[in-house]
Amino acid sequence: MKNVILTLISLLFISSCGGSEARIDAILKLDAKDENGKSIYEANCSRCHGSDGSGTSLGPGIKSENDEEEIIEVTIEGEGSMPAFDHLSDQEIADLTKYSKSL
Ligand code: HEC
């Protein structure tokens, strides 16, 4: 019985990691609009990363971060003291990522 529970727990763990990968893939396929991304960035990210992406005392500069997959992953999962933004919709994250890359 204990083994069954352990197996179930590890399956849940594996599928939750896989879920994020699948979500990243889905977001990468969307048609992103950076003009929509600007307001999402201003509302959620600029207080730590600065409106021009050059960073503040709360977060590092992200101007040189141009790897879409990395931006999406950090946005969904958070990193260190950066909170997760998994409540944003896939389309919002796609638009936001395109805008972040343009900084
Ligand atoms: C509360 C402040 C805060 C907010 C709000 C925030 N971040 Fe961050 N972000 C950070 C910190 C701090 C790090 C560095 C985390 C670490 O490496 O420990 C970071 C790291 C990153 C990185 C990785 C940079 C690198 O080179 O490793 C990206 C990309 C990023 N943030 C994008 C975003 C986006 C997009 C948003 C808006 C959805 C956002 N952040 C909102 C604080 C924040």
Q: What is the CATH number of the domain that holds 86?
A: 1.10.760.10
Tell me how far apart the alpha carbons of residues 38 and 3 are, in angstroms, rounded to a whole number: 49
pTM of the shown model: 0.86
pLDDT of residue 37: 97
Expressed as residue numbers, the domain containing 60 is 2-101
Ligand 1 binding pocket, CB closer than 6 Å: 44-45, 47-49, 58-60, 62, 65, 71, 74-75, 79-83, 85, 96, 100
Q: Is the pLDDT of residue 66 over 70?
A: yes
- Probe residue for ligand 1, chosen from 63, 82, 91 as the CB with the greatest number of ligand atoms within 8 Å: 82
**What local confidence, expressed as pLDDT, does residue 5 receive?**
60
pLDDT in tens, 2-56: 666 656 555 555 555 556 899 999 999 999 998 999 999 999 999 999 999 999 9
Total domains in the fold of the chain: 1
Minimum-distance ligand 1 atom for the alpha carbon of 100: 35
| Residue among 85, 101, 99, 92 at smallest CA distance from 20 | 85
Asked whether the beta carbons of 93 and 76 are under 8 A apart, the reply is yes
Residue 20 has a pLDDT of 83
Residues pairing with 79 in the sheet: 82
